[in-house]
Amino acid sequence: MHVSLRFRWSLLALLLLCAGVVRAGTPPAVRLNVAGLAEGGIEEPYLSLTVEEDIVLSAVPPLPSLLFERTGASTTTISRVSGSGSLRIMPVAWGQIGIQEWRVTVRQGERVLETLRGDGIPPPAIDWSPREGAGAIDYRVPLEFRCDVFDSSGAQGTAIAELGTHVVARRRHRLPCEEAAGCRVTVALFPFGSNQPFPGATERVDLLHSALPEGACVTVEGGCDGVGSADRNARLARERGEMLATLLRRRGISVSTVSTRVPPMVAESPDARQYDRAATVIVESPCPRR
């Protein structure tokens, strides 16, 4: 059977049109891989972040009425997060020859950290560092990478990869003073008439040990509220100072002297009287030779 040339071209055009319709309704195939990037090549598939924490010991502990379990140390933590690596994003789009645009979105939860985009097919590898991104990294939330490609017909192909974070914590304890020498820290509070401290004293001693500079020592000052006889107050102040000195020495902190402090008058406020019933250290840095 003879088929005219015009008919053949019409049939070919119809087939191409049908192929275009099918192609337009079929999203481009996309694959996405993400890995950590370090000098020398690819490493473990996570983002390495360094979290630097300054744990600042408070000058005074909380009042006993505010004490709860494990909160007697009363500290302030200042955290800084920095990236110590970068990531290699490796999108692959295949099966379509008409890809016109690609887009990679980096997000954490609902927050978009950065959007990378370009024309044509995506490159085989895209290196990305959080230090170059517009958003701050939250090391507690996984990173999500989404790669979208769009072909000439408007069809969209999508691939999503999630990546956790590897956190390296660097913690440093600090005294609540700009200079260590002469810094006063109340370590223990005592109930009325007692030489046994409220909970939290041992934990504060541990933090003080971590915060003291090398070669430092302390003098200890035991205190009282002034209620009652002078002899009774002097005895309680001495016992409270010696109790704290014992805790300090057990922790390896050098104690140079133990003294007492009796207020000139009884404070009107119950809170003020409670802070008078205390044992305090004064830091000597460096520790003087006796």
The CATH number of residue 186's host domain is 3.30.1330.60
* CATH code for the domain in which residue 96 is found: 2.60.40.10
Mean pLDDT of 111-115: 89
Same-domain check for residues 190 and 162: no
Reading the block at residue 270, the tokens are 């119950």
Q: 70: helix, coil or strand?
A: coil
Instruction: Assess whether 76 and 208 both reside in one domain.
Output: no
Average pLDDT over residues 111-137: 80
Looking at the domain assignment, is residue 84 inside a domain?
A: yes
**127-133 own/partner pairs: CB under 8 Å, 24+ apart:** 127/37, 127/86, 127/87, 127/88, 127/89, 128/86, 128/87, 128/88, 128/89, 129/83, 129/85, 129/86, 129/87, 130/47, 130/49, 130/83, 130/86, 131/82, 131/83, 133/106
User: Residue 267's pLDDT is what?
Assistant: 93
Categorize the per-residue pLDDT at 238 as very low, low, confident or very high, splitting at 50, 70 and 90. Answer: very high
Q: Are residues 140 and 228 in the same domain?
A: no
Domain endpoint, select from 174, 206, 226: 174
Instruction: Answer yes or no: is 9 within a domain.
Output: no
Claim to verify: residue 75 and residue 124 sit in the same structural domain: yes
pLDDT band at 281 (very low <50, low <70, confident <90, very high): very high
What is the DSSP-derived secondary structure letter of residue 289? P
Pick 171 or 220 by higher pLDDT.
Answer: 220
Residue 63's pLDDT is 85
| Residues 37 and 153 grouped into a single domain | yes
What's the pLDDT score for residue 140?
74
- Determine the residue type at 113: L
What is the C-alpha to C-alpha distance for residues 158 and 170, in angstroms, rounded to an integer?
38
Highest-confidence range of 40-49, 58-67, 171-180, 234-243, by mean pLDDT? 234-243
**Residue at token pair 């109790």:** 243
CA atoms within 13 A on the CB side of 46: 13
Domain count, the chain: 2
Shared-domain flag, residues 257 and 277: yes
Cα–Cα distance, 178 to 209 (Å, whole number)? 17
Q: Do 133 and 198 sit in the same domain of this protein? A: no
**Mean pLDDT within 172-183:** 92
Residue ending a domain, among 174, 192, 214, is: 174
Share of the chain above pLDDT 90, in %: 47
Asked if 64 and 185 sit in the same domain, the reply is no
Residue 127 inside a domain? The answer is yes
Does residue 113 register a pLDDT over 60? yes
Q: Which two tokens stand for residue 199?
A: 């909970």
What pLDDT does residue 20 have? 44
Range with the lowest mean pLDDT among 37-51, 172-186, 190-204, 263-277? 37-51
Q: Residue 125 to residues 29, 91, 162, 175: CA-CA distances in angstroms?
A: 17, 7, 17, 47
Claim to verify: residue 68 and residue 86 sit in the same structural domain: yes
What end-to-end distance do the CA atoms of the chain give, in Å? Answer: 120
On whether both 203 and 167 belong to a single domain, the answer is: no
3-state secondary structure of 119: strand
**One domain, residues 58 and 144:** yes
| 82 falls within a domain | yes
Q: Is the pLDDT of residue 110 over 90?
A: no
User: Residue 39: pLDDT above 80?
Assistant: no
Q: Is residue 261 part of a domain?
A: yes
Closest by CA position to 284, among listed 214, 186, 192: 214
Task: Rounding to the nearest 10 degrees, give the CA dihedral for residues 278, 251, 203, 272.
Answer: 10
Domain-embedded: residue 18 = no
What pTM value is reported for the model? 0.61
**Domain contains 12:** no
Residues 131 and 103 placed together within one structural domain of the fold: yes
The most confident of the ranges 15-24, 80-89, 113-122, 158-167 is 113-122
What is the torsional sign of CA 108, 114, 117, 122? negative
Where does a domain end: 122, 144, 174? 174
Pick from 281, 280, 43: nearest CA to 163: 43
Identify the residue whose tokens are 């100072």.
Answer: 241
Domain with 263, as residue range(s), is 179-284
Question: What pLDDT is recorded for position 38?
Answer: 66
Does the residue 3 lie in any domain?
Answer: no
pLDDT value at position 9? Answer: 44
